[in-house]
Amino acid sequence: MTTKNKTRWTCTTCNAQMLKWQGQCSHCHNWNTLVEELPTTHQDSSSCAVSLSDIELQEQERLQIDKAGWDRILGGGAVRGSITLLGGDPGIGKSTILLQTAEKLAKQNLKILYVCGEESVAQTSLRARRLNITHPLIYLYPETNLDHIKQQLSLLSPDVLIIDSIQIMFDPKLNSAPGSVIQVREVTAELMRIAKQSQITTFVIGHVTKSGDIAGPKVLEHLVDTVLYFEGNSHAHYRMVRSVKNRFGQTNELLILSMHSDGLKEVLNPSKLFLQENSITTPGSVVVPIVEGSGILLIELQALASSSPFSNPIRKTSGFDPNRFSLLLAVLEKRARIKLFSTDIFLSITGGLKITEPAADLGALLAVVSSLQNTLPPKDFICIGEVGLGGEIRQVPHIERRLKEGKLLGFKGAVLPEGQAASLPEEITKNFTLKEVKTIQDAIHLLL
């Protein structure tokens, strides 16, 4: 007697599974998040286990896109058979950048299938012509049905597949609406299987939620090989692509692009971008070198401190972790004996960049003190250092690379943690002033 297949209920928030519907998820305790899904049938595996010592390593073949930014952020190019997820806000340029990528690959005699599920062929063609893209090896296919897409893949045999977007694709065998948890998960899993078996390099566009996360189940990001986030404001001139997952390369790589009438173009020297309007001649402005993937960026931290008429002063940040900033202000008040209880404090990263690196701690506090005391920090100096709870300045990694980038861009010196200058080569220290500090009090007395 065969066992009857039972439907399952999956939480759209935490992906937990239940045997029956209930109003509240027992795992994440959110209400009305369970959706019904039917069990899927699985075929027997045709592969077998292989000893690790018997596997012959072969170098992964990569598709070179532009020999610069895109190849760097993907770890040296797009690996054949890989699947890359690109997420970003509406109107930020996801379709534009993948159309440009398609053209660069088509110029290498690679066949591209662009599945435009959100727009008609005429609309996508109009966008492509605005970007001066008319290559005959780029094929547009307006479809959202996965079965029809698989048939087109069999007929066309493309080298590259672009899905725009994953949230509106659906598998007709599944009894759920497009964009549901099971549809997004199963369609992505099927695309991954096709990519691996047919060695089709696949790019998938994903929607994001109001919080900035990829819409749909978190398992979507686990399934793909690479996850890229398109950051920035759709009304701003500059956009940033950041890699948060990469099975074939380094994560946290950053690609900065500028929007033009003919598409997105890479900014070749991003440090100059963030410092092009350097206002170091005003109090509250400090330059800090940060590590972004395999590169170094020099960014400007700007602070504004003003007296507050209210009992609860305002503390706001833009591009800097607010919890980290609150901790640093507490250290500054406790260890440096600077009263901040009646002061509104604002901190901003110029250029719209977001940083999480603790090496910017010292620069953030010096910018605050500079604005509070209305004094100028030394001109042409960069600040490096992590601030501990005791007020001590801790050493940071990649100190040589940070200083080298600062010297290359014309800075005359740097403030850095005690003990890190001794191991630096002469090419860094020559004609470059290094001031070591042990505590936040030392840094304030030395610079301000």
Residue 77 is labelled as binding a ligand = no
Closest CA to 357 of 304, 412, 299: 299
State the Cα–Cα distance between residues 362 and 328, nearest whole angstrom. 9
Is 94 flagged in the annotation as binding?
yes
Ligand-binding annotation for 179, yes or no, is: no
Q: Is 216 annotated as a binding residue?
A: no
232 annotated ligand binder? no
Q: How far is CA 55 from CA 2, 49, 50, 51, 198, in A?
A: 40, 11, 7, 7, 21
- Backbone phi, then psi, for 44, in 5-degree steps? -65, 145
In the chain, the amino acid numbered 436 is: E
**Does 46 count as an annotated binding residue?**
no
Cα 24 to chain centroid, rounded: 33
**E strand or H helix at 428, and its extent?**
helix 426-429
The answer to whether the annotation marks 90 as part of a ligand binding site is: yes
Q: Which helix (H) or strand (E) holds 436?
A: strand 433-437
What secondary structure does DSSP assign to 332-361, as a single string? HHHHS----TTEEEEEEEGGG--B--GGGH
234 is an annotated ligand-binding site residue: no
User: What's the rounded Cα separation, in Å, for the pair 341 and 448?
Assistant: 21
Q: How far are the Cα atoms of 340, 361, 441 from residue 343, in angstroms, in the given order?
A: 5, 19, 20
Known binding positions for ATP: 88-95
Known binding positions: 88-95
